[in-house]
Structure 1
Amino acid sequence: VTYGDMDKVDKPKFGNSGATSIGPLHDRTIFHDGQIVALAVAETFEAAEEAARLIRAEYEEEKPTATFDSPGTATIPAAGKSPLFKEDVKAGDFDAAYADAAVKIDQRYSTPTQHHNPIELFSTTAFWEGDQLTVHEPSQNVTGWKVELARQLKIDPAKVRIVSPFIGGAFGSKGPMTPRTAIVAVAAKRLGRPVRCVASRMQAFGTQTYRAETRHRIRIGAGKDGRITAFAHEGWEVTSRPDAYVVGGTSATGRMYDYGSVLTHVSLVQADRNTPGYMRSPPETPYVYALENAMDEMAVALGMDPVEFRRINEPKTEPIGKKPFSSRSLIQCYDQAAEAFGWADRDPKVGAMRDGDWLVGMGCATAIYPTAVAPCAARVRLTVDGDVRLQCGSHEIGTGVRTVAGQMASERLGVSIDKISVEMGDSGLPPAPVSGGSISTASVCSAVLMACDAIRTKLYAAATAEGGPLASSHNEELELAGGKIVAKSGASAKVGDVLKAMQVGAIEEYAEFAPKGATPEALKKLYAGTPEFHGGEQDEDSVKYAFGAEFVEVRINRYTREVRVPRIVGAFAAGRIMNTRTARSQLMGGMIWGIGQALHEATEVDRRYARYVNRDLQDYLVPVNADIKDLQVILVPEVDHAVNPAGVKGLGELGNVGTAAAVASAVYHATGKRIRDLPIRIEQLLV
């Protein structure tokens, strides 16, 4: 399959369900290194590889622009380029407040390009049965992909099925559909055979999305008492030529503390690169790193304890729109984490703490992530035998959403968890939003709760109806427990007997959840694969965020400058915790990711050719077991009924937000060297 074979297929679209508007085989234009130029198909993997090696392509060479400061880049304002980043936030008169501030800083920070590298490689398997297309591909968005693939192939979405029951790691990389999927579908159609394409790890660097490099300028002004009066955050992000991908983390950093005045601006720098995409906590990871590093510098400039500095700048309302927080337990997180970590034993003097040849440093940082929710549908069926089947087109990406969805059904229907089967990861199931933005638990559980409560209502009505087994208890409070409907008086009836009285073998309910503030078109958009997100700073009544506090100890060898992280303590408040085991696992994984961000991960870009150099796990560094020591996760109790019916705040992307800044803070405390550019490497500490 080469250029010309895709002429009857529409080009991919950027946004919603599409990763990029670059259609590799739709014209002769090469937008970036690693772009697909052909697909070779053969009976065996070895034959396909050999065929691919025999392909020769001729190019007209032009000098590419690689990244920041490369000749030929174009810088444009980011506001309004994405539905998730509509404007640069501001409040008050920053210029005047900053000019009058008694203590101020003006610093610049940067984060590198990073690639996802999940254990499971990126693969597509497509086959046709008549005019029905089935695609097996790891996906965080089966409903959206079904609609987008049908659009590209110009067929009815009902003729497309996307199957992805389990995913071996995603972190955003399998959220938007790449152009590869349509190419493989076309090849399968032409051959009349199933076709499977597996991108190698090296190929994935150029065909999938990634976290783009960012730069930041932060200015903070405060009085001598430590109260912030002025805050400005300017950010620059690299993107591709055709697609204005923006993360715009100033929406979070501009609402973190009680600033007095706020000024923000985000710019996009267009270069000859593949289009970036979502990577675990896309806006917060780079932007909060810059903010929290600056907060640590400001605390030093003021001569204040970093925890106390944050405490006195804790806001009563968010500083942009003055709306209340639905809940905000950040100070409780700091209190519990500081006590568990032993922050009181920290010597505030830089370089004062040592253990033999090791310099010891301690640092802290705040984690923040918006609490969002989206429309979702679910089907629940309860049988006369007490078995429950739960169906929802969400995705198990390793977060445990199958488990918590089953738990919600177990709780609402009074059925043991081992009696519940959960089906997910199929576009033929009731539609669910993309599994991104930490919305899955809240969205799915809200829909499951609605379906289960509809079943409860029918069961209660049947049980207490005239002639029903609990007719005498029609005015009593009822509950489902142990497969029975139990009245407050103690009278009970088996659910199976109630269903028999209804003369049915099962009762099934289909629920469509739409969050508070949803538009009249919200459910229609869900089925179209473009669901609305609600929450964070978008709602009119309050702003909704989850928070955390992370404390890190580092040890740096006085001679070699090797950096070790022997322990991290993180305390997090995220509303109702559906499952403590999966919640701890998510947060622990996030902190490990944060260590990698701080000390290891960076995709090196050859500025001459705009080419990724370290395109494998030999040279792209990630933490290994030997790098990870003691991790402690504290779940801070929090009740928030405003976020969604389930009272759940997403936490899958919260754990890694503050880690890198806490490591940088600890490195400064140990050495006196302020590292503002990630990752922190030995060579930076030797200078």
Structure 2
Amino acid sequence: MADYTAPVPVPGKNMGKADARIEGREKVTGATQYASDFPVSNPAFAYLVTSAIANGKIRGFDLKAAKAMPGVVEIFTHENAPKREDAGFFAEGGYVTTGFDPLGSAEVKFAGQIIGVVVAETYEVARDAAHRIVVDYAPGDPSASLESRGTETVDAAKVAKGWKDKTAGDFDKAWDSAEVKIEAGYTTPTQHHNPIELFTTTAVWHGDELTIYEPSQFVWGLKNGVAKQLDVDPAKVTVIAPFVGGAFGSKGMMTPRTGIIAAVARAIHRPVKFVATRTQGFTVSTYRAETRHAIKLGADKSGKLTALSHDGWELTSRTDDYKVGGTEATTQMYAIPNVTSKVHIVRADRSTPGFMRSPPEVPYMFALECAIDEMAEKCGIDPVEFRQINDTMKSPVSGDRFTSRHLVECFDAASEAFGWSKRNPKVGSMRNGDWLVGYGCASTCYPANTMPATARVRLSPDGHARVQIAAHDVGTGATTIMGQVVAEAFDIPLSQVNVEMGDSRLPPGPVAGGSMTTASAGSAVKAACDKVIAKFGNRLPTGDALAAAFKKMNTGVVEEYAEWAPPKTSGGVAKLYEGHMAGGSDSPTPILAYAYGAEFVEVHIHSRTKEIRVPRITGAFAGGRIMNPRTARSQLMGGLIWGVSSALHEATEIDEKRARYVNDNIAEYLIPVNADIRSVEVILVPEVDDQVPMGAKGLGELGNVGTNAAVANAVYHATGQRIRELPITIDKLIA
């Protein structure tokens, strides 16, 4: 039997080779170039001035002390900032994370808003000068969070483009007649990206042509967005980001800083390099918005669920109606015939939220999976058995069948490996000396997203190949996967494949988000390989025969370009070239495809101090064809760790009076370290699904969905305390 949990897993059924990352040596030796590493000639350095208030207006600036510093080139504020066009708010189909221009007027909409840019000969001078600027504010009274006075709540279905609340059956009737009921509220906090690679932009003009070096998950989106903002031909904009040092949503969309820095570089006729500070990273990029949930679950005495109501409230800014909308996952997770849901958007004086790994599923599935655990206990049924009882092969909302669903198999594999059968179900019954021991579990799911993609593949007579696609590797192993697609198609060693990515001069690929790169980019690469093979009569020779075939064809190389789009998608590739994240299907009956998994957590809680530890995590996942078990295991392990982080560590603390972030640095923003994560076991459950592209479903975001609920459920088993507000901290257990 194959060992799917080994550090280098032995491939099982429907799995590719467990090849090592082809860029791994470069990364660990420091040879890779990230966006800020590229040298430019005679650069100036930019430093941001950001707002100290969250609501109000700027009366004026005192710039005398700053301008008097030797080495200051220019200072830009709303009074003299270069004009930029509206590129469109991303959620409405545009390019930028917000429709608000931070340098467009004297208005202040959130704390940390960009209100000025100092440009100097050195970074140090720019920073010093920025701190010498005195700003005269007329402050307002800000609303900081979901529960703050002065917020405005609206229905997402009324303001968020394309969103419809999910319903099925007759919830009210089913709720009234339910034999067993639970009703509970859950909350998740604001969480911020803290990637190792900071948010940076370098802008270089050569006449009317612009080159931008910026860590990006979608260079073609950035290319077109900047072009629109600066009113230039997109063909004259190049974006280069060969490697990205951490992203997971934070670098997926164009932020206002990019257009500002590019416009400043054009204004001063010099390249400009900008690197945000850790603190500035909390407001120049996006974040995971805090959410609140109201769950009602009804069931009969046998444990069959009969009714679900899931209402969610999500924080957004005053300027943009950004929506997460995670009820799409929760209303289709189990066989519940009667469903109602509603998503609310709460406008406050904060910057606009955005993508963060598994944006809808992490907060919404936390609420559902905790409620499922509570209902299982009330019905007197084991939590694993309860989930298996309510498994379904079709959506209760649409009636469509899932292309494949091996959730039960995941629970079987994970529960056996974890030793769930050794669990004493009685709350507080398990101990290890002074430590209370708790076991908890939860389901995880993530949709099998796809997006149009294009690629170029070249084959040489010596059997070496090159693939070019402007997709991205944000640390997931995508570079290796694209190389493996070519190696497998041409039956050559991976070492003979050169992969070029992360450059807008290459054919456009999908955004590195939504766990879609393998299926989307891989499909385009495979299509290009097939066109190459077709040149040889649909059978590619090897060795000397290949060289002879090239000689017979009287050519030095064979190169082919290919386009791919999800089935029945109209205009997808054209929109991709315009930098839009077009995807999905125009079919009235699109396929319903999800990856699934089961997660188990053991927690230890000190009986007196309430210190919380997580000595063991086990997850089993079914995601269609696993292209590379080694990189898949790495992604799922990272997701599980992030899930524990969201359960016990991560929360952006907010000054409710001033609507400012308090722990806006990597020293005080808590994340787990090695001592917090001891044993992580990942099981890859073989699954075949011939209805999804490449047979593959995304795994990158699957691993951190539900883990927070598994931790919360384990905490209850250990202590008898239901902590429904994340993160779970010592003070909440003491209270």
TM-score range, shorter chain: over 0.9
- Residue 611 of structure 1 corresponds to which residue in structure 2? 660
Quote the Cα distance in structure 2 between the aligned partners of 1:227 and 1:538. 33
Unaligned runs of 5+ in 1: 462-477, 485-492
Secondary structure, aligned partner of 1:69: coil
- Residue 464 of structure 1 corresponds to which residue in structure 2? none
**Selected match of 1:94 from 164, 171, 192:** 171
- Residue 561 of structure 1 corresponds to which residue in structure 2? 610
Task: After TM superposition, list the pairs within 5 Å mapping 1:200-599 onto structure 2.
Answer: 200-460=277-537, 478=539, 480=540, 483-484=542-543, 494-519=545-570, 521-534=571-584, 540-599=589-648
- Residue 691 of structure 2 corresponds to which residue in structure 1? 642
Q: CA deviation at 1:221?
A: 0.2
Quote the Cα distance in structure 2 between the aligned partners of 1:538 and 1:320. 18
Quote the Cα distance in structure 2 between the aligned partners of 1:602 and 1:592. 15
- Residue 251 of structure 2 corresponds to which residue in structure 1? 174
- Residue 465 of structure 1 corresponds to which residue in structure 2? none
Residues 616 and 448 of structure 1: CA distance in aligned 2, closer, same or farther (over 3 Å): same
Q: Deviations over 1:457-507 (max 9, x none)?
A: 11126xxxxxxxxxxxxxxxx4x47x35xxxxxxxx621211110000010
- Residue 4 of structure 1 corresponds to which residue in structure 2? 79
Secondary structure, aligned partner of 2:201: strand
Q: Is the 8 A contact 1:406 1:417 kept in 2?
A: yes
Q: Is the 8 A contact 2:82 2:267 kept in 1?
A: no
Quote the Cα distance in structure 2 between the aligned partners of 1:246 and 1:417. 41
Matched, 1:660 2:708: yes
Q: Is the 8 A contact 1:81 1:245 kept in 2?
A: no
Letter in 2 for 1:10: E
Letter in 2 for 1:566: P
Letter in 1 for 2:705: V
Identity of aligned residues (%): 54
Q: CA deviation at 1:12?
A: 4.3
Quote the Cα distance in structure 2 between the aligned partners of 1:420 and 1:31. 49
Letter in 2 for 1:549: A
Quote the Cα distance in structure 1 between the aligned partners of 2:724 and 2:588. 34
Q: CA deviation at 1:5?
A: 3.2
Quote the Cα distance in structure 2 between the aligned partners of 1:123 and 1:452. 35
Unaligned runs of 5+ in 2: 1-75
Letter in 2 for 1:71: R
- Residue 20 of structure 2 corresponds to which residue in structure 1? none
Quote the Cα distance in structure 2 between the aligned partners of 1:164 and 1:5. 30
- Residue 110 of structure 2 corresponds to which residue in structure 1? 32
Q: Is the 8 A contact 1:517 1:539 kept in 2?
A: no
Secondary structure, aligned partner of 2:77: coil
Q: CA deviation at 1:118?
A: 0.5
Letter in 1 for 2:702: L
Letter in 1 for 2:450: V
Q: CA deviation at 1:541?
A: 4.6
Quote the Cα distance in structure 2 between the aligned partners of 1:504 and 1:513. 27
Quote the Cα distance in structure 2 between the aligned partners of 1:674 and 1:341. 23
Q: Is the 8 A contact 1:17 1:141 kept in 2?
A: no
Q: CA deviation at 1:96?
A: 0.3
Q: CA deviation at 1:8?
A: 2.7
TM-score, length of structure 2 as denominator length = 0.88
Q: Is the 8 A contact 1:11 1:26 kept in 2?
A: no
Q: Deviations over 1:69-109 (max 9, x none)?
A: 212111001126445x5200000000000000000001000
Q: CA deviation at 1:567?
A: 0.3
Matched, 1:155 2:232: yes
Q: Deviations over 1:367-417 (max 9, x none)?
A: 010101010000001012222110000011000111000000000011211
**Selected match of 1:57 from 121, 135, 145:** 135
**Selected match of 1:626 from 675, 688, 691:** 675
Quote the Cα distance in structure 2 between the aligned partners of 1:45 and 1:231. 55
Quote the Cα distance in structure 2 between the aligned partners of 1:31 and 1:680. 31
Quote the Cα distance in structure 2 between the aligned partners of 1:38 and 1:134. 23
Residues 538 and 613 of structure 1: CA distance in aligned 2, closer, same or farther (over 3 Å): farther
Q: Deviations over 1:155-187 (max 9, x none)?
A: 000111111000000010000111111111112
Q: CA deviation at 1:252?
A: 0.4
Secondary structure, aligned partner of 2:645: helix
TM-score, length of structure 1 as denominator length = 0.94
Quote the Cα distance in structure 2 between the aligned partners of 1:531 and 1:175. 10
Q: Deviations over 1:186-245 (max 9, x none)?
A: 121122211111100011111110001000000000000000010010000000001011
